[in-house]
Amino acid sequence: RWRRLGCFQQALLTLVHLRKNETFSQLGAGFGISQATAWRYVDETLDVLAGWAPGLYEALTGLGEGDHVIVDGTLIPIDRIAADEPYYSMKHRKHGMNVQVIARPDGTPPWFSRATPGRTHDLTAARSHGIVQACLTRQILVLADRAYQGAGATFRTPYYHHREQPEQYQQFNRDHARLRAPGERAFAQLKSWRILRRARCSTRRISTIVQAVHTLLT
């Protein structure tokens, strides 16, 4: 079937959308196509890219006892009114979608989760995505922040601060923070794509966008 854009131009159209977060009207004007055609081409390409992103068990292949990963959550801000309570994150004080990441010790992200409403607690999200069970099964040590306390035997979280905290607890927290810090690189890479700094699309498409961006990062 004849198409207004070739494969290269369709790929470029999608990259512009992800990088610049332009509207489909702007994209269409820039590429000489209609708004509806721009939407369809981007949608097609995102589905293909997302299909190449690894699943959780594939991402953990080769890891086991003696290895460690970093698990953390981030919020993808969205345009929503105050009434959209399920999307409101009390932690971040804004509307958005919760995305979990598993990062290697150097900050490289082998896996991003699907997006869930922003009200979802990080620990709830980690359990529902299967992260807790997968890491427990493989005996993979997980470094995470206090939001994951109670996750399970293989999760290590910082001690709560209090006035008379023993020195060994303070040292543990310092070492824990140092080892966990590279995990921030994973989210920095994800949000280098402007569309994920404030998503204007349907919340149902954010998971696809995250997986598509992950494919482009790998």
**Tens of pLDDT along 1-51?**
667 888 999 999 999 999 999 999 999 999 999 999 999 999 999 999 999
Residue 1: per-residue pLDDT = 61
Long-range Cβ contacts of 88-94 (<8 Å, 24+ apart) = 88/118, 88/119, 89/118, 89/119, 90/119, 91/147, 92/118, 94/118
CA dihedral 122, 207, 50, 185 (to 10 degrees): -40
> Distance between CA 89 and CA 62 in Å, rounded?
35
> Distance between CA 96 and CA 218 in Å, rounded?
25
Residue 180: per-residue pLDDT = 94
Give pLDDT < 50 ranges for the chain: none
- pTM for the full predicted model: 0.91
Residue 63: per-residue pLDDT = 86
The answer to whether 113 and 100 have CB atoms below 8 angstroms apart is yes
